[in-house]
Structure 1
């Protein structure tokens, strides 16, 4: 028996090397069809103050989640106070609420085991709650006070501004974060509302008065949507909401918040090299993309999956990492937004192979424009995108949150079914047409962060 462990080890090594030596062909890959899945739909109620509420009861676990979407984000920051919405969101978390000061709110969260978080995105801000259902009343009260009666404590404001400035400094030392920000500036223009970033000067000008004014304009029930999911009863929550708002002074009519000027769609090749003493080159390549309302987005999602969005099954990964060993990872992404979004390819490679990687990417773009994709590639991409859907709707809070965001974007209630149908209808001919129309390998913006070319 003393040799048993050696025999087992030898067998394990044999099996390991046998598996490692086997080569897999992309054409041999098969995917399983997903069974039909239709998530439950939320019940929508609009309160008399205009707050649109989405309710989805699920009594499996004794937890309740709430999610409030506010129709204002970084796009609404004044030009000289970029960072205002982000600072406002952070202050909702830490600046006190209702009749509780900042420290008292912190203690209440800890006592009840509540998770309460705020964030600001480009087009909207949000506040989320996670609590035990037995604590529904105090948890929801604190959640609503955070939204509608925040104290916005001045001392906490200074702490948040200081932390934000430190975070901005650290981002400059992170190559991945820095190259993403600089590439966005190259694509859209540094001061464009879609990509502009807070800086020391803009943060310094933001006062408590500015935060209060922004909150008063943006956090109005008629400009918000609320999702509640989990172990609760709709009638009880509606009653709590009505009684809460009845105690508050009437909200002023929602003011029109500033909107960014429309983007101009233009394509012009440009390469920018930012020299840094790094061992790798961090590369971003791309150009402007499409609007969220573009009906060709379904075909572009599939095209992108085949090109570089599908991990190891994508062309870029199979060639540049697996075949040539030029990078650990490479990906592509079409990111639609209300105005023109972007198409971006991201990769990091050793500095000596920078030019080779860039040329290989260009060649792949040219080939997919000229030749399109195969039926097998398209079938795999369709199955992958449709199979991934279930993970976006596998919990009540995900389902109701998606419904809120879809409503914000103006999608129809049956958007999930539309999405599945549109993905299913895409053909290889359609893929080739959208590749010819929306990919511009001759007009790429290229940003390289790494050693000087002479040092490579």
Structure 2
């Protein structure tokens, strides 16, 4: 009882103390609450060591966890690779690790590291390559031995090079899938120049040109101690680690020093540039020109301007264009900077198609306001507070400080550049910001890029000025085999071709049965080659020229329809959009390449069946039959024993432009007396692209004619 009374007394006493404090707080204006000065910024400095052979080492102790991480950064990157082998450094950065060492394959290294919860990774950038590791303190000696083997004696195995090239080809084929990626890539070309090494992009031909010897030669030319900076952070004693590293690397001889290439920048002329994209309902907009380097005295004032004008929710661009006018779902940008070359002045915006021109005009107005309503002292104070209060969180661990110091060493910046940042930002005044705006932000010098669906724009982009279209068509890959595509389309059937075609027809079910088919409907699942979730699709074909494809997506059904008079796609919430003419024409060709359709025309003189040559496909010695009619052409690889078409080859228009397609056919099943392959494995430009499995097929189903009718366009919401 006595204890309960004591606790009650404490509670009452506490309440009595808090009451006057709360009352005092409520009576005080929040703007009068004193804000303490920022603490002095003194990050934990790594120990710098330079070996006699020129290798620079940074050691940063961090005993919070029993881990040791490290990175070696080597001078020389993709900006120095030959233009005709663009992509070589991306491949190098991949195969350096996956190719293993002379004593262990990359797969064996995977197993070795996995049981130790460790990792070793390699990569490349525009100006350097890197190899890094992370491991437990107790495994350091074992993991570091593998690291040094990979650093000095990688094997670059041919099978891993081939795998990396296939991966690059897949990336090339998909590079026009995402609108944001297109806008960023092409805007950089406008800012730097289309042929600039910083914007150079790999193509099928340049990737195919890379050899194993190229990777070996690059490694021998660049990986030397005097071209390298090694940084290590973690739970170790610096003196002991230094002794170990001197023993391991001290005898490594110097090599030729890397020299940075002399790069010229040729920005595009100011004006409007357009990349039409018919399958989107939003526009991506970029306004660009050359920016500055980080060692420019104007760098700090530019950072303050960026915070005021385009960084974050409180910036002018967001508050005006997004919040007040509702014209953009994302908007921002500012004066960009880089360590050893100019960055990019970049203003970015995403808006719905129907407000494209209006949104550009709104951004122009904000640029004009920089003259009529200059950045105020209050805006500058808020920006400086924001930058300085968040600055420390960018370097809140010893490892972050280490990597920043390594960057200063790499680019030749003063060792105290990090410490200078805070005092330099504090000194920025309104006059400094006004100076950088006048010097670097020029509305009349910006190249304006728009990626979007021009049919849905509120006004033609040309109302703003002359418009230049940018072609982003992906060049096709070099042909691996001349026989894959006939040099010239045969002009007449030959006896062997007709005989093989007749055998195909019989294997399918016979000519009378096939000619009774006027239409078909099939259910199938399609899965991409990377193993993503399967997509459910239903195809309805009314020969010779009508097709309806319905795809089930997470957002609901999506339909593509082609008839002699129309080609369109429709989806709930997206309305109806016409297919581009090339896509419509390609869909009709798909109908005409169908096995059933071709077989129906065995005796049609307009259809040519020309046999020529043999090829082993999937272990089967096949006969090649080139089939053509009008502008349709396809190559069959026929098993002469069964009459089955084992594989098809054809030229088509894919997602990223013209491509060479191959389809392997298997798992033949009979429905209503007609035998067709249930499994289709597809390739685009030699790369696996998708697997299609037919689960149901029906011949001559009852088809509602409305299935091929174009729905009325949905009314657009009021602006």
Is TM (by shorter chain) over 0.5?
A: yes
Deviations 1:340-364 (A, max 9, x none): 2211111110011111111111111
- In the alignment, which of 167, 175, 180 is matched to residue 176 of structure 1? 180
Are 1:204 and 2:189 matched, yes or no?
A: no
Shift of 1:206: 0.5
- Report what 2:381 is aligned to: 379
**For the Cα contact (< 8 Å) 1:262–1:339, is it kept in 2?**
no
Are 1:284 and 2:289 matched, yes or no?
A: no
Shift of 1:226: 0.6
- In the alignment, which of 82, 92, 95 is matched to residue 91 of structure 1? 95
Shift of 1:420: 1.1
Shift of 1:387: 2.0
Shift of 1:86: 1.5
- In the alignment, which of 227, 235, 241 is matched to residue 237 of structure 1? 241
Shift of 1:297: 0.9
- In the alignment, which of 43, 50, 64 is matched to residue 54 of structure 2? 50
Are 1:451 and 2:453 matched, yes or no?
A: yes
Structure 2 distance, partners of 1:66, 1:32, is: 37
Shift of 1:32: 8.0
**Matched positions, count:** 425
**Structure 2: stretches of 5+ with no match in the other structure:** 1-30, 459-719
- Report what 1:120 is aligned to: 124
Deviations 1:343-386 (A, max 9, x none): 11111100111111111111111211443211111111112212
Are 1:315 and 2:319 matched, yes or no?
A: no
Q: Which has the larger radius of gyration?
A: 2
Deviations 1:210-240 (A, max 9, x none): 0111111121110010110110122332333
The answer to which of 228-237 and 364-373 deviates more is 364-373
Specify the SS of the correspondent of 1:313.
coil
Deviations 1:3-45 (A, max 9, x none): xxxxxxxxxxxxxxxxxxxxxxxx9xx9986433311101111
Structure 1 distance, partners of 2:370, 2:43, is: 36
Within-5 A mapping of 1:24-423: 34-97=38-101, 99-245=103-249, 250-251=252-253, 253-257=255-259, 259-263=261-265, 268-277=269-278, 278-309=280-311, 311-337=312-338, 338-423=340-425
Structure 1 distance, partners of 2:131, 2:195, is: 27
Structure 2 distance, partners of 1:67, 1:325, is: 45
32 and 95 in structure 1: CA distance in 2 versus 1, 3 angstrom threshold: farther
- Report what 1:10 is aligned to: none
Specify the SS of the correspondent of 1:61.
coil
**For the Cα contact (< 8 Å) 2:274–2:451, is it kept in 1?**
yes
Specify the SS of the correspondent of 2:174.
helix
Shift of 1:261: 2.6
Structure 2 distance, partners of 1:400, 1:254, is: 27
Structure 1 distance, partners of 2:367, 2:40, is: 34
Deviations 1:156-214 (A, max 9, x none): 01101111121222221011111111111122222111211111111110000001111
151 and 32 in structure 1: CA distance in 2 versus 1, 3 angstrom threshold: farther
Structure 2 distance, partners of 1:32, 1:124, is: 42
Structure 2 distance, partners of 1:317, 1:33, is: 30
Structure 1 distance, partners of 2:230, 2:220, is: 18
Deviations 1:32-91 (A, max 9, x none): 864333111011111232110000111111011101111111111111111111111111
Structure 2 distance, partners of 1:65, 1:290, is: 33
- Report what 1:13 is aligned to: none
- Give the CA RMSD over aligned residues: 2.1
User: Which structure is higher in helix share?
Assistant: 1
The answer to which of 446-455 and 162-171 deviates more is 446-455
TM-score by length of 1: 0.88
**For the Cα contact (< 8 Å) 2:193–2:265, is it kept in 1?**
no
**Structure 1: stretches of 5+ with no match in the other structure:** 1-26
The answer to which of 351-360 and 145-154 deviates more is 145-154
**For the Cα contact (< 8 Å) 2:226–2:254, is it kept in 1?**
no
**For the Cα contact (< 8 Å) 1:370–1:436, is it kept in 2?**
no
**For the Cα contact (< 8 Å) 1:75–1:260, is it kept in 2?**
no
Structure 2 distance, partners of 1:254, 1:371, is: 54
**For the Cα contact (< 8 Å) 1:113–1:131, is it kept in 2?**
yes
Shift of 1:401: 0.8
Higher-RCO chain (CA-CA 8 Å, sequence separation at least 6): 1
